[in-house]
Chains A and B, each alone.
Chain A
Amino acid sequence: MTALSAIRRAETAPETSRELNGILNLLTCGSVDDGKSTLIGRLLWDASDLYEDQREALSRSGRTAGGSAHPDFSLLVDGLVAEREQGITIDIAWRYFDTETRRFVIIDSPGHEQYTRNMASGASHADVAIMLIDARHGIKRQTRRHAAILDIVGVKRVILAINKMDLVDWSQERFHAIETDFRELTLRFGFREAIAIPVSAVVGDNVARRGEHMSWYTGPSLLEHLERIPARDTTPVGPFRMPVQLVLRDGLDFRGLAGTVSSGCVCVGDRVTDALSGASAHVLRIVTMGRDLEIARQGQAVTLQLDADIDVARGAVLTTAESQPTVASNLDARLVWLWETPFDPRASYLLRTATDLAPISALSIKSLLDLETLAAQPAQTCTVNDIALAGITLARPVAIDRFGANPATGSFLIVDAVTGASVAGGIVSSATSADETTAASTFRLTREMLEKGLCRDLGDSEEDRREFQRRASEAALLLHAAGVPAKLDL
């Protein structure tokens, strides 16, 4: 399969039953000046199934890129009117295109430093990232920052697209110089694969096809390389994890735990454990509409019926006995501050994990990443676009993994309890279990206290128990707001 065989509607007879072999999420980061929109537009134009009305609209648009004879591909990508007027891309845009074998999802993220948060959130969805630079300028501060963000949110494959090769006379020396800098940069991070490709988005060389101007280059074109990368969720990796989203019922006989397998797999008959309560039972049925399954694999949405009625609800993480997440109250984390409102030590925050939501009793910023030197600088505050090392103490334990070991159950959001905003996104570097540290000044809010007053009206139904948890969390948040660190002892 080469890039040249990439599907073109007009040339390919459609097959009714064809399904594509998986999905690859592709982040593009760089700025307008680097020709990012042009690169994406070129990829869509040359490699994909662009509709004719879209092609015509582009040809009619009357704008041409830099006065050249090519259509302005960036018009395919720049969505919102506000953005078109400002000539910048301020938010992530999602584009879809298919080649013969595969669905590509292009996550187009803005490049400038004031949009670091957009880039980080876009990157968190990516299987591979294209970092775009201008061949005339080489690797700059922005590329270093992008590499650092990609590394933090867990992107394992990166491509450096060295664009505008036409403006440096297709120079092999220039390419090699930049490639050497790139090697040096990527060694600092945990990427599995890093490759540099010389391209010209305007002319088209090495985007979807090889082109004629750089015969000295023997590597793959961008699209060729992308088509070789394995799709997401192709093989289950890691230990079994299923965060429970909901409990489903049908009459008196059916009680099922609904969720998506976030890693590994589980079979009928396997013994599964809820890390939080320690309760365990065997899988009796793996239920989906239409048919039961024998095995549920990473990425599948299922409902597990267990052979014993253990007390498991939303927020639990089902696992197999041999590999448990940590039931943690203290986390060391790296986070990206996402919201305009800066970190406020007196504000009330919640920790949103895969399916749990727990009150935070203390959040402290330890250092900020200097985006110039990539070194950590001691700090106590944190604001939008900052990347920080932080310590988090929870009012009650959650089941959580180290991000490096298990990304789906090792990432989190920090939520402002009052506005609901997602103020930060982060990953767990280390988690320590509940009983190791509790400061003497911490107030212990027990089940008994809550039952006497605040939750007096609640019974033992599933709904009431959920409401009990909710009120307990809110009470802890109020105590926190009043300056009293609280721990829920339920």
Chain B
Amino acid sequence: MTAQFSHLGHLEAEAIYIFREAAAQFRKPVLLYSIGKDSTVLLHIARKAFWPQKPPFPLLHIDTTWKFKDMIAFRDKTVRDLGLDLIVHTNQEGLKRGINPFDYTPSIYTDVMKTQPLKQALDQYGFDAAFGGARRDEEGSRAKERIFSFRAAGHRWDPRRQRPEMWHLLNGRLGVGETVRVFPLSNWTEKDVWRYIAREGLDVVPLYFAARRPTVERSGQLLVLDDERMPLQPGETPQLREVRFRTLGCWPLTAAVVSSATDIDAVVAETLGARTSERQGRLIDHDQSGAMERKKQEGYF
């Protein structure tokens, strides 16, 4: 081992430091686990931060009921193998009202099936801090995000009330009604996430690897049909294409990319050579200008 510290070593150490600060300062934290690659890295680092202890907080998954089947299987196996506590929460009201990604705009769907249930679950269990895998490189309004991101009562994010963060000092003293979102991967890029997954030999959801999958092309984006709930438009017939995902969310809102990368090395190689940003595959972000900033103000992660 050389005295020189690789950039991944540096990012890992920083994330461990953040996990430990949050665990020491907050009364009841939770890790928001969304099953994707960022959550995989987040969970792995949480284990490192408290080793040989288990992470001193449960995982929370907001299940919209529109996640890929492979994601749910992966989630359940991960939790079982590692012996972790998992809370799964769905907005039952939204489910009853039949809010789905086909008949409602992405912003309504996201609000009802993702943002609302997240707030419900945080309130119901009284969590004062929630770890998330958000990165500053993802999107414009994320670029100004703090590591400890404070939310006023009602989980509202007000950019003007955020605390300046200086040096390595993280101040987690909460005001009345405040909660906090904690982002240990703030300074990671998409490429770092994949390099780290490769370096640490982590398992990820198989959807990240190329396979022949039933797809339809809609508005220039490739959608994979994960079950029978997707209404086909006139003239659409599913075609088998070799595709994979760069980012995972609800399957009707997540576009696949044509790829032949079937293993981690190929995925890393493809990511390092990628020519478009990953959020291009996120249909909810293109809904309107400043979409992410608005979602955050409403309480979205």
Closest to B172 in A: A420
Chain B residues 132 to 156 lying within 8 A of chain A, measured CB to CB, are: 136-137, 140-141, 143-144
User: Which of B28-36, B86-94, B267-275 has 4 or more CB atoms under 8 Å from chain A?
Assistant: B267-275
Q: Which residues of B contact A52 (CB under 8 A)?
A: 275-276
Closest to A315 in B: B24
Pairwise interchain contact B17-A117, C-beta atoms closer than 8 A? no
| CB within 8 Å for A287 and B17 given contacts A9-B274, A10-B275, A408-B168 | no
Closest to B23 in A: A246
> Residue among B7, B17, B293 with the most chain A CB within 10 A?
B7
The answer to whether A249 has its CB under 8 Å from any CB of chain B is yes
| CB within 8 Å for A249 and B53 given contacts A95-B143, A300-B13, A422-B171 | yes
Q: Which residues of B contact A411 (CB under 8 A)?
A: 166-167, 169
Contact of A20 (CB < 8 Å), options: B6, B166, B178, B268? B6
Chain A residue total in the interface (Cβ 8 A) = 85
CA distance A10 to B51 in the complex (A): 41
Closest to B267 in A: A16
CA distance A235 to B191 in the complex (A): 25
User: Which of B42-50, B64-72, B208-216 has 4 or more CB atoms under 8 Å from chain A?
Assistant: B42-50
| CB within 8 Å for A80 and B167 given contacts A105-B187, A248-B50 | no
Query: What per-residue 1/0 map shows which CB atoms of A1-12 lie under 8 Å from chain B?
Result: 000000001100
Pairwise interchain contact B164-A121, C-beta atoms closer than 8 A? yes
The answer to whether A399 has its CB under 8 Å from any CB of chain B is no
The answer to whether A153 has its CB under 8 Å from any CB of chain B is yes
Closest to A85 in B: B290
Query: What per-residue 1/0 map shows which CB atoms of B45-61 lie under 8 Å from chain A?
Result: 00111111100000000
Pairwise interchain contact A425-B3, C-beta atoms closer than 8 A? no
Pairwise interchain contact A82-B159, C-beta atoms closer than 8 A? yes
Q: Which residues of B contact A415 (CB under 8 A)?
A: 171, 173
The answer to whether A203 has its CB under 8 Å from any CB of chain B is no
Q: Which residues of B contact A118 (CB under 8 A)?
A: 164
Pairwise interchain contact A53-B277, C-beta atoms closer than 8 A? yes
Q: Which residues of B contact A231 (CB under 8 A)?
A: 5
Contact of A79 (CB < 8 Å), options: B140, B168, B280? B140
Q: How far is the CB of B220 from the nearest CB of chain A, in Å?
A: 12
CA distance A357 to B173 in the complex (A): 10
The answer to whether B289 has its CB under 8 Å from any CB of chain A is yes
Chain B residue total in the interface (Cβ 8 A) = 66
CA distance A18 to B7 in the complex (A): 10
Pairwise interchain contact B144-A80, C-beta atoms closer than 8 A? yes
Pairwise interchain contact B166-A9, C-beta atoms closer than 8 A? no
Pairwise interchain contact A289-B48, C-beta atoms closer than 8 A? yes
The answer to whether B287 has its CB under 8 Å from any CB of chain A is no
Pairwise interchain contact B275-A234, C-beta atoms closer than 8 A? no
Q: Which residues of A contact B289 (CB under 8 A)?
A: 81
The answer to whether A146 has its CB under 8 Å from any CB of chain B is no
The answer to whether A446 has its CB under 8 Å from any CB of chain B is no
Pairwise interchain contact B159-A80, C-beta atoms closer than 8 A? yes
The answer to whether B189 has its CB under 8 Å from any CB of chain A is yes
Pairwise interchain contact B178-A420, C-beta atoms closer than 8 A? yes
Q: How far is the CB of A460 from the nearest CB of chain B, in Å?
A: 20
Closest to A417 in B: B173
Query: What per-residue 1/0 map shows which CB atoms of B6-34 lie under 8 Å from chain A?
Result: 11111111001100110110000000000
CA distance A421 to B172 in the complex (A): 9
Pairwise interchain contact A421-B168, C-beta atoms closer than 8 A? no
The answer to whether A17 has its CB under 8 Å from any CB of chain B is yes
Pairwise interchain contact B20-A235, C-beta atoms closer than 8 A? no
CA distance A179 to B136 in the complex (A): 35
Pairwise interchain contact B275-A9, C-beta atoms closer than 8 A? yes
The answer to whether A164 has its CB under 8 Å from any CB of chain B is no
| CB within 8 Å for A407 and B167 given contacts A20-B6, A260-B17, A301-B13 | yes
The answer to whether B37 has its CB under 8 Å from any CB of chain A is no
Q: How far is the CB of B226 from the nearest CB of chain A, in Å?
A: 25
Pairwise interchain contact A288-B169, C-beta atoms closer than 8 A? no
Pairwise interchain contact A96-B164, C-beta atoms closer than 8 A? no
Q: Which residues of B contact A301 (CB under 8 A)?
A: 12-13, 16-17, 20, 48-49
Pairwise interchain contact A246-B20, C-beta atoms closer than 8 A? yes
CA distance A246 to B269 in the complex (A): 38
Contact of B51 (CB < 8 Å), options: A19, A53, A287? A287
Closest to A84 in B: B290
| CB within 8 Å for A120 and B166 given contacts A22-B4, A91-B159 | yes
User: Which of A220-228, A347-355, A434-442 has 4 or more CB atoms under 8 Å from chain B?
Assistant: A347-355
Q: Which residues of A contact B167 (CB under 8 A)?
A: 124-125, 153, 407-408, 411, 425
Closest to B16 in A: A301
Q: Which residues of B contact A355 (CB under 8 A)?
A: 21, 24
Closest to B276 in A: A53
The answer to whether B186 has its CB under 8 Å from any CB of chain A is yes
The answer to whether B163 has its CB under 8 Å from any CB of chain A is yes
Pairwise interchain contact B274-A51, C-beta atoms closer than 8 A? yes
Q: Which residues of B contact A174 (CB under 8 A)?
A: none
Q: Which residues of B contact A82 (CB under 8 A)?
A: 159
Q: Which residues of B contact A284 (CB under 8 A)?
A: none
Q: How far is the CB of A370 from the nearest CB of chain B, in Å?
A: 23
Chain B residues 249 to 276 lying within 8 A of chain A, measured CB to CB, are: 265, 268-276
Pairwise interchain contact B3-A235, C-beta atoms closer than 8 A? yes
Pairwise interchain contact A81-B169, C-beta atoms closer than 8 A? no
The answer to whether B181 has its CB under 8 Å from any CB of chain A is no
Q: Which residues of A contact B186 (CB under 8 A)?
A: 94
Q: Which residues of A contact B168 (CB under 8 A)?
A: 260, 262, 354, 408
Closest to A254 in B: B52
The answer to whether A46 has its CB under 8 Å from any CB of chain B is no
| CB within 8 Å for A14 and B272 given contacts A94-B143, A235-B3, A246-B24 | yes
7 sample A-B contacts, Cβ–Cβ < 8 Å, listed by A number: A13-B273, A19-B8, A79-B143, A80-B293, A94-B136, A234-B4, A420-B178
List the 6 closest pairs (A to B, CB-CB), nearest first: A14-B272, A420-B173, A121-B164, A301-B16, A289-B51, A81-B290
Given A256-B52, A422-B171, 9 more contacts at CB 8 Å?
A79-B143, A80-B144, A121-B164, A124-B166, A288-B48, A289-B47, A300-B13, A352-B169, A413-B169
| Interface, chain B (partner A; CB < 8 A) | 3-13, 16-17, 20-21, 23-24, 47-53, 136-137, 140-141, 143-144, 159, 162-169, 171, 173-175, 178, 186-187, 189, 191, 195, 198-199, 265, 268-277, 280, 289-290, 293
